Chain A
Amino acid sequence: MSTTTEKSAFAQGCYASAPFLVIGGPFAVLFGLVSIEAGLSVFQTVAMSVVVIAGAAQFTAVQLMTEVAPVWTIIMAGLAVNLRMAMYSASLQPHLGAASFKQRLAIAYLNVDASYALGIIEYEKHPKMLLGEKLAYFFGTMVLMTPVWIVGTYVGAIAGGMLPDNLSIDFAMPILFLALVGTMVKTLAHLGAALTSAVAALLLSGLPVGSGLLIAGFLAMVVGAEIERRRGR
């Protein structure tokens, strides 16, 4: 975090995360509420947000706890929901793999849907970015999102029941990610991959949690790469 370009990359990452802060805040509060209802203490609830730092998996886990599922079922379901992040890790490797071991540990901890998506879009838009700038941008996207997620969880955990039931933010996340996808589709190969992913995920939704998405993602990558190979980028 030394040069001017790195500082501005950090600030840009920070700005880019703004929409996710607006949605992520209430989402974190909601998790806090649900987690308390599932029987976790305030400390355990906040600890889960710090240790796991993955919204969808955390919701899955506490949901299954309210259904009194076996402990290992809960753990496996939560991890299955997070398996997609192996693909994020692979996709970031060409950009961030040369970072130091400590930096890669930090990236791994902060590798969530939003930071991954914002980062990879920026790296593809500016192929000449240096490693230091890429790292600064990535950490910039999470510098506010991480505290908002943790503090929001805490607020929800102590507020318990004070939030109106009909606060419908359940569709806010899908809208943000759809808007991201909309800006990503630039070639026929992108379109082919996106359609394959959506259709396959719907068709495979009956499979155990997370595994349908993994297969859909794999198929869609093959379709995108194959269209690119035949037509050029």
Chain B
Amino acid sequence: MTYSTFDIWMIIVVMGIGTFLIRFSFLGLIGGRKMPEWVLRHLRYTPVAVLPGLVAPLVAWPESTGGNPDPAHLLAAAATLGVAWWRGNMLWGAAAGASTLIALSQLF
């Protein structure tokens, strides 16, 4: 144990305050004012712009294989995306992905 009690609380509190300020930033400072159309046009793409990038490295280099790309994880990801898109339903997609991963990890 190399961290003092003070160090640990410092990590918890500063990370907490910083995270809160990041989350509050735009909501807090802009409030109810209208933003220009070109800004809104960009913001409309935030979810599809951030979530794929968040997940892509986890799919390409899965933790459970020690970061080595493997066909089971790639195919499970493809099945998830494909079925969720096709059915327009998140649960169907997640079920397809999970069963693909379980089935393929029995095989390999």
Contact = CB atoms under 8 A, between A and B. Distances in A.
Nearest to A195: B52
A178 B55 contact: yes
B1 A175 contact: no
Interface residues of A, number: 92
Question: Interface on chain A toward B: helix, strand, loop, or mixed SS?
Answer: helix
Contacts of B28: 89, 104-105, 108
Given A19-B94, A48-B12, A57-B15, A171 B62 contact: yes
Contacts of B45: 189-190, 193, 220-221, 223-225, 228
B56 A52 contact: no
A196 B7 CA distance: 39
Contacts of A92: 26-27
Interface residues of B, number: 73
B52 A89 contact: no
Interface string B82-108: 111100111111100110010000000
Contact of B11 (A71, A222, A224): A71
A183 B84 contact: yes
A93 B27 contact: yes
Contacts of B35: 93-94
A198 B8 contact: no
A75 B15 contact: yes
Contact of B27 (A104, A117, A121): A104
Nearest to A70: B7
A105 B24 contact: yes
A79 B98 CA distance: 31
A98 interface: yes
Given A44-B9, A93-B27, A202-B56, A180 B15 contact: no
Contacts of A75: 10-11, 14-15, 18
Nearest to A170: B63
B49 A196 contact: yes
A89 B47 contact: no
Contact of B55 (A124, A181, A185): A181
B61 to A, nearest CB: 8
A147 interface: no
Contacts of A220: 45, 48-50, 52-53
21 contacts: A52-B19, A75-B15, A90-B25, A90-B26, A90-B46, A97-B27, A97-B31, A104-B28, A104-B31, A109-B20, A181-B48, A181-B51, A181-B81, A185-B48, A197-B52, A198-B52, A202-B57, A202-B60, A217-B49, A217-B50, A220-B45
Interface of B: 1-3, 7-16, 18-20, 22-28, 30-35, 38, 40-60, 62-64, 73, 76-77, 80-85, 88-94, 97-98, 101
Given A181-B52, A201-B57, 11 more contacts: A71-B3, A78-B18, A94-B34, A108-B27, A171-B76, A177-B55, A181-B51, A183-B85, A212-B53, A218-B49, A225-B44
